[in-house]
Structure formats: C-alpha cells, structure tokens
Amino acid sequence: MQKMGNSVWIYRICVLYAFCAPSIVFASFTSQDSFFIDCGGNKVLELDDGRVFKPDSGNSIVGLSPNSLIVISDPQMTISDDDSAFYNSARVFKEKSAYTISTKQIGRHLLRLHFYPFENPHYDLKSAVFSVLANGVTLMYRFSFSNSRRLTPFFKEYAVDLSGTSSKRLSLALSPSNGSIAFINGIEVVSLPNKQFPSTAMPVPLGPEVEIPPHLALETAYRVNMGGPLLTPKNDPLWRTWEPDFPFLLNPASARNVSENPSLIKYPDGVSVEIAPNWVYSTAQEMADANVSDQRFNISWEFAVEHGFTYLIRMHFCDIVSIALDRLVFNVYINRQSALDFFDLSSKTMELSAAYFVDIVANLSTGSDRILVQVGPPASRNLPSNAILNGLEFFKMSNPHESLDGNLPAAGIDSKMPDKKNWLVIAISSASAGFALFMLISVALFLYLRKTCPKKPKHQCLSWIPVPTTQVRNLDSKVSIGSSTSTAHSLGLNRVLAFSEIREATKNFDESLVLGVGGFGRVYRGVLENGTLVAVKRGNPKSQQGLTEFRTEIEMLSKLRHRHLVSLIGYCEEFNERILVYEFMAGGPLRKHLYGSNLKPLSWKQRLEICIGAAKGLHYLHTGAADSIIHRDVKTTNILLDENLTAKVADFGLSKLGPTLDQTHVSTAVKGSFGYLDPEYYRRQQLTEKSDVYSFGVVLMEVICARPAINPALPREQVNIAEWSMNWQKKRKLEKIIDPHLIGSINLESLRKFGETAEKCLAEHGSERPTMGDVLWNLEYAFQLQEASIQTLSAENSANYIPDIPEWLPQIESTNGDGANTTSDREFDTASSMVFSQLMNPKGR
C-alpha cells in the first residue's frame, strides 16, 4: 500500500509539472539587483532557469582587486552541464583581495557563493584554506575542501544587509591563510523584498517577541519542500533550491505525502511567491493512518546545526488536506518545546489552499547541535487527528561578533597572523609535549603489564588505554574526514580498534556478512585477528545521526559487566567512522524465535528461562550498577540470544541514568518504540525504572502470544498487544490467546503466574507496578511451577495442562511487527511500515 501510494503521488507530480508549469507566473516583485558573476570566465553563460552569468573581468558593476589570477579546469574534468558551466573556471587570490559590487537597492540581498576545486596543474584548489567576509561579516573561516572525500560543486547562500553602506556597495573579501590561496567560481547577488525577513519573531521557549535587527546577516542552513520533489531555481522566482524532506524524517511511516495542483494555491495579503513558490505550498506531509482508533503521535524531522547560534525557523503551511474550514487543528514543537498550541490554520487564512507562514526563533547556545521539528494533534480535541507541514527554512543568524562561522569576530580574519601568535604557539607546543609525555608513560606501562601478563595465548592479552571514563565527552567533537588517526584513543573506555583491523575482520565490510541494517548503520559478522567472533555495528559515515547513541552506548557499556548484558568489546572513531564491536550473539534477537522466521518454536521452559535472563539483566541495570540505569528501549529485538539461548539485553543508545536518592524521576523527552512505551512516561515525560518494567510487560505478552507488539493488519481491538492481552488476562482466560505451539505442554498454574506478572507490569501507573526484582522472583516461581509439574505429572493425564483451545482466535502473523530489528530502534520493516516505532512526543498527552 505504501509503495502504491508513492507511485500515485509521483504520477500526480509528473502530471502537474507537465500541464501546470506553463500557467505559473512569478510576478509582483521585480528585483532591482540581479547580478550573476562567472569568476575567471571568458564568455557569457545563459542558464535554462533564466540566470545569465557574465565574466568578472571587464564588468562595469564589479570592482576587482589587482594581483588575482584566472585558472581553468582540465579539459578532461570540465563540467558539461550548461547549468553548472561556470564551475569550469575560477578566480584565484594569493593575498587578501576583494570584489566590490555596486548595487541599486539598499536592504537585504541574497548572496550565493559557488566553489568547486577542480584539477589544475598550477594550483591545488582542494588544499586551499581561506576565509570570506561580506561587508565586515565573517561568512566562512579557514574553509577548505581538503577534508572532503568527494569533490562536487558547492555553494553557500546568505542574506546580507546593505542599509549601512551609503554607497550601495557589497564588499566581498577573500583572505587566504598563511601560505595558501583563496578561490571562487561564481557569485550571485539578488535584492530581496523589504519584508522578506521579519523584524520580530516568537521565541522557543515561548516568551516576548525577539527583535531581529536589519543589520544581522543570515545563512541559509536548510530549505526543505515537505512531501514534494526537489525544486530547482527554475521553480523559484529568487532562484532558490528546495530539497525533499525525506532525509530528515525520523520516522517515514508516520507521514504520507499529499499534493494539490499548484495553480490552485492562493496568496493572501502578506504572503507572496517570493516567500515560497506555489510548488512548496502544493505539497505537504500529513499524519499517516496507523489503523488505530486514536492516533497520538507526531511527525518528526531532525536537522544537524551548529550550536552557539540563534536560528530563524520559517514554517510554511497550506491546508490542502481538509474538505472544510475549521477541521485542521494541531500543535507544533521545536526541540520538544511548544511553539504553536492548537494551531488553527483556517482561522489565519479564512480559506483552504491558502499560503501561510510562521517565523520562530530558536537559540542553541546551550550546546545542542540538533533541531527537532514536530507536528502532531493536540491532547484534547473533537476533530480527526491530523497535522501537516508544507515547507521549512532554517537561517543561522550572525552572532554579536558579526560572524556566521564559529563565534569568530570579523576583526580576527586577516592574511597575517594576529599578535597572539607567540603565546598560541607556546600553548600548542606545551600541549603537544605534555601529550607526548603522557603517551610515553602509557606505552611504558603497557609494556610492563604485558611482560607481567600470565603465559596465555597471545590474543588474551589485549591493549587497553587507562584513561578516565569522564573523557567520553570528547566524542562530541567531530572527526575530520580523512583523518589519519583516531580521536577515540582519548576515551579509554574499552579496547580501541583501528579501522584497518575492523575492515580486515569484516573482509572489507563484505555484504555477505551483513547481519542486519538499521538507522545507525549496518551490522556485520566479523572475526578479529585473535579469532574472536564479533558483531560490528558500523555507523553511516555520510550522516551525523547516531552520534549521541554512539556516545551513550560506549559510556553505558564501559561501566557494565553482567552475564545477561551484551558486552562491548571495543569501538573505533577513525576516518569519520563510528563503529561499535560487540560479542557475537549467534541466536539473534528473541523476536526471531517467536514469530516471523522458520526457526524451531521455543518451548515454554525455554521462554521462561529467556525472560528470567532478561529480567536479571534489567534488574542489574536498575540496582546493581554504580548508578541506576534506565534502558528506555526494552523490546524483543533488543533481547539477544547466544548459541545456548542465554538472553542478554542489548542496545543502550537511548539509555539514561536513573533518578538519584533525592529524586523520584528523570525529566526527559519521550523516546522509545511504539507499542512498548510506558503511557505514564508518555504523558508526563517523567522517566523511572518502572518505565522499563512496563516495556518488559509487553515483552512478556509477546513471548506468550508469539505476535508483534503492534500489528495494524489485525482487527482494531487486537492491534495493540498490551490492550488486547490485558482484556483476556483480566477475564482470567489468557490461555485462549497463547501461541498454538505451547498447547499441551504448558502448565496452567505456571501460565497464570506468568499472566499475573505481566498484568502487574502493564499497570497504568508506575507506582502500581512491581520492581524488576519482584518481576524476576515471580518469573522464577512460574518456572518452578512448570518444572514441578513436569516431574510429578505426565502431559497425557494432567488436568493442569492446557490440552486444546477450540475457540482459538485467528492471528495474522507478521514477520516484523514492531518496526525494528536487532540493529536499531529506528528501522521500519515492510509489514509494519504504517507503525510509528521511534516515538518522540515533546508534550505529554
């Protein structure tokens, strides 16, 4: 159904492009300044989108500093695409130089800078290191392509103000770092309407309006077309590019794309095509149908940003889904904080298919490097649950130092080193000497320990770096692509593995060794040099997603050692790789042994032993570690089995430290997997160990019923296993819905004790649930009841065994019902594509 929906959507978009495009007219505003400059070019380039790039030399509008050089690309490397032909030449500077562009209009202008380090026999553009300023505002500081693996054309877009320049000039300065060069391929300057950006905006958290002075420069961080295709400059009156939103969607199954004929979009007063073209407002993401009676989830998008800056977030809305006014009311959250409550779009536009936008300011000075945007239904409502978003723009605002790059004041940029050079060199030298001394001591200690190590096989004496675990925060720093050494050696939490060692262990990440694929990346089966069989979880190197989970996993597992917790053998953070290496669990996830595979069904005794083992692992987390730890993502895919079916709890990427002695809970955003989520934690955002107890209760019901926690394919009353199984348990008829493979072998008293334990775990309020220690005791008692019955009774004549169930309820088996596999809580399997499995609701409902 999902694929069919996408096909229909793609067909509709194609029809709209084919028949509606000629009727779309970009009118109303005429830009007085539209300068397109081909730096180093020698002829006029006319692009299909209407832009005409002219050479910078001999251009009456452009003033250029002397001593610049023109370089052209190798003929074999020339870009043949007419719309990117200006990347075939560049202007090169050996010292600080500037373009001076005379404009007709004051106010804010869009400034686009184009770069492409093509091959040239005389200058290595890839290794160039330089800074860029516009009218004194630092746009880029010591920028370089040297860390990039793939060399592709690249552009940056800014909005700079020319109101303070009486001569109506834009001065664009390029400053090479010492001994390097600067270069640029193309420049665009386009004047903007006076009210393109607001003078004030509402902040998050909510408070008085924030002033946005006109002199502030802005950098476009993202411009996204929700639910629609890539929009190129051909589709935008200001030649902007709008990218699709799919890469930013945390849970694709939570949303579905909708579209409307672009020619039907209306622009009320205050909104124009310069704000966003009708192509943006004619598509949207709305809440998907999860086939449940009461849809309570959000559509979530996550964006990586630079912390320490304030961001202007522009959200575009257009009601293209309602059949009447006053039918669409929803909430909007930014970073889990309320931005718009009970937002009634029709009350703003007074008509359907009318464009509307909202500006919000978010400050990231607290150190966060992510912005989470969510839309979802309000808590109390009498309307169908739905929420939409059509478009989204992020603009980074210049800081008080007039900088858009790393809090650097503009005065600090120059081709010469500042006066602080001497003490800076001394500081760096001292730090290097100290580090070298530290390494010598570490090596000496290692050699000493190795000599005193007992005579065992070579692979038993592993090297471990004895650095305090508090240094785990160093993981926040990003590793440059192409780094020759790993920064992970400073962590000292587990064995630090070289990337080359991991690559050899996995046969260069051979596809045949893939165990599973998740949101963090792929998991491979590997064999280390010493013969140890391991599971290698490799993060996606093209994405910064998963960095927090990577850090948390190492930080948590470095403190934990228990028979029923999966052990972390080592990790690697090298060459921009984030890799975790675990002990290999030959049995795979518990879920695979319950349903969705051809494995031999587990006996009741085996199931009890597995539940007891998992309970022991969770009980240790809650009480046995130095600090109480809440797993926060207990489910059957995170309980792994070894070759002997010994259960071990895995995946600590979402784990949190529990409350201290003077606390009753931990206040945190809601994270977990749909179907396993503690309803009290969901409503109040207050996390306790009892949240894990609730999730474990769902696991217990999966074990006895052998079906997914959420299965939208079933009748409505059976979709959620917690609700469905509790209805039968409260009737004391749980035996009517158990796995058919257990019929005739399960002791009725043992089943009743098991069901009572699960019922207590699934209590609505945490105070009514048992501790994991109590759960463990009850499960062991259920096991003893089963064992005792086997010893004293035979299955043929025992009234305590369940012989058969004629009223057996039909079950629709789903291979992947909870929307996750062993490697990640974010993966969506085909059978559960309509399930929102990574739920993050910032406001309890």
Query: Taking residues 475-494, what's their average pLDDT?
Result: 33
Statement to judge: residues 571 and 624 lie in one domain: no
Q: Given the DSSP bridges, would you call strands 218-225 and 243-244 parallel, antiparallel or unpaired?
A: parallel
Q: 164 pLDDT exceeds 80?
A: no
Q: 627 pLDDT exceeds 80?
A: no
Q: Is 578 domain-assigned?
A: yes
Statement to judge: residues 393 and 499 lie in one domain: no
Statement to judge: residues 376 and 291 lie in one domain: yes
Q: Using an 8 Å Cβ cutoff, are 134 and 165 in contact?
A: no
Q: Is 204 domain-assigned?
A: no
Statement to judge: residues 290 and 149 lie in one domain: no
Q: Is 306 exposed, middle or buried (0-12, 13-18, 19+ CB in 10 A)?
A: middle
| pLDDT tens-place string over residues 684-714 | 888 899 999 999 999 999 999 999 999 888 8
Q: 438 pLDDT exceeds 90?
A: no
Q: Is 56 domain-assigned?
A: yes
Give the pTM: 0.52
Statement to judge: residues 362 and 484 lie in one domain: no
Q: What are the binding residues?
A: 537
Report the CATH number that the domain containing residue 60 is assigned in CATH: 2.60.120.430
pLDDT band per the 50, 70, 90 thresholds, residue 394: very high
Statement to judge: residues 779 and 647 lie in one domain: yes
pLDDT band per the 50, 70, 90 thresholds, residue 178: confident
Q: 379 pLDDT exceeds 60?
A: yes
The pLDDT, as a whole number, for residue 27 is: 46
The pLDDT, as a whole number, for residue 316 is: 98
Q: Is 113 domain-assigned?
A: yes
The token duo for 460 is 């038993």
Q: What are the binding residues for ATP?
A: 537
Tell me the CA end-to-end span of the chain in Å, nearest whole number: 30
Q: 759 pLDDT exceeds 80?
A: yes
The pLDDT, as a whole number, for residue 16 is: 44
Q: 446 pLDDT exceeds 70?
A: no
Give DSSP secondary structure letters for 697-748.
HHHHHHHHH-S-SB-TTS-GGGSBHHHHHHHHHHTT-GGGGS-GGGTTTSBH
Statement to judge: residues 572 and 599 lie in one domain: no
Q: Given the DSSP bridges, would you call strands 656-657 and 629-630 parallel, antiparallel or unpaired?
A: antiparallel
Give DSSP secondary structure letters for 543-576.
--TTHHHHHHHHHHHTT---TTBPPEEEEEEETT
The pLDDT, as a whole number, for residue 100 is: 92
Higher pLDDT, 843 or 100: 100
Statement to judge: residues 772 and 715 lie in one domain: yes
The pLDDT, as a whole number, for residue 563 is: 87
Q: Specify the range with the lowest mean pLDDT, choosing from 31-45, 133-147, 316-330, 565-579.
A: 565-579
Give DSSP secondary structure letters for 8-64.
HHHHHHHHHHHHHGGG----S---S-EEEEETT--S-EE-TTS-EEEESTT-TTEEE
Query: Taking residues 507-532, what's their average pLDDT?
Result: 83
Q: Is 451 domain-assigned?
A: no
**What average pLDDT does the structure give for the chain?**
78
Q: Specify the range with the lowest mean pLDDT, choosing from 26-30, 85-89, 349-353.
A: 26-30
Q: Name the residue among 265, 254, 244, 318 with its Cα closest to residue 24.
A: 265
748-761 and 772-792 helices, crossing angle to 10°? 170
Query: Taking residues 642-657, what's their average pLDDT?
Result: 88
Statement to judge: residues 614 and 564 lie in one domain: no
Q: 650 pLDDT exceeds 60?
A: yes
The pLDDT, as a whole number, for residue 666 is: 76
The pLDDT, as a whole number, for residue 486 is: 32
Task: With H, G, I as helix, E, B as strand and everything else as coil, classify residue 220.
Answer: strand
> What residues are paired with 514 via a beta bridge?
524
CA atoms within 13 A on the CB side of 785: 20
From residue 195, alpha-carbon distances to 274, 305, 431 in Å are 10, 26, 51
For residue 735, what are the contacts with CB-CB under 8 A and spacing of at least 6?
Answer: 748, 751, 802, 805
Domain end, chosen from 397, 421, 436, is at: 397
Query: Taking residues 108-115, what's their average pLDDT?
Result: 95
The pLDDT, as a whole number, for residue 839 is: 34
Name the domain count of the chain.
Answer: 4
Statement to judge: residues 616 and 559 lie in one domain: no
Q: 299 pLDDT exceeds 90?
A: yes
Q: Is 210 domain-assigned?
A: no
Report the CATH number that the domain containing residue 704 is assigned in CATH: 1.10.510.10
Q: Given the DSSP bridges, would you call strands 337-344 and 299-304 parallel, antiparallel or unpaired?
A: unpaired
pLDDT band per the 50, 70, 90 thresholds, residue 822: very low
Domain end, chosen from 551, 583, 615, is at: 583
pLDDT band per the 50, 70, 90 thresholds, residue 494: low
Residue 430: count other Cβ atoms within 10 Å of its Cβ. 10
The pLDDT, as a whole number, for residue 84 is: 78
Q: 169 pLDDT exceeds 70?
A: yes
Supply the range of the domain harboring residue 468: 461-583
The pLDDT, as a whole number, for residue 661 is: 60
- Phi then psi for residue 242, to 5 deg, are -120, 120
Query: Taking residues 523-542, what's their average pLDDT?
Result: 84
Query: Taking residues 194-210, what's their average pLDDT?
Result: 88
- Phi then psi for residue 196, to 5 deg, are -65, -35
Q: Is 631 exposed, middle or buried (0-12, 13-18, 19+ CB in 10 A)?
A: buried
Report the CATH number that the domain containing residue 534 is assigned in CATH: 3.30.200.20
Given 56, 161, 633, 818, which residue is catalytic? 633
- Percentage of residues in the chain with pLDDT exceeding 70? 74
CA distance 646 to 565: 10
pLDDT band per the 50, 70, 90 thresholds, residue 291: low
Query: Taking residues 90-101, what's their average pLDDT?
Result: 92
Q: Computed over its alpha carbons, how large is the radius of gyration of the chain?
A: 30
Q: 801 pLDDT exceeds 70?
A: no
Q: Is 565 domain-assigned?
A: yes
pLDDT band per the 50, 70, 90 thresholds, residue 381: low
CA distance 579 to 673: 23
The pLDDT, as a whole number, for residue 60 is: 76
Statement to judge: residues 567 and 622 lie in one domain: no
The pLDDT, as a whole number, for residue 292 is: 61
Specify whether 633 is catalytic. Answer: yes
Query: Taking residues 498-509, what's their average pLDDT?
Result: 88
Statement to judge: residues 525 and 605 lie in one domain: no
Domain end, chosen from 532, 553, 583, is at: 583
Query: Taking residues 758-779, what's their average pLDDT?
Result: 94
- Phi then psi for residue 472, to 5 deg, are -60, -25
Q: Is 403 domain-assigned?
A: no
The pLDDT, as a whole number, for residue 80 is: 66
CA distance 113 to 115: 7
For residue 448, what are the contacts with CB-CB under 8 A and spacing of at least 6?
Answer: none
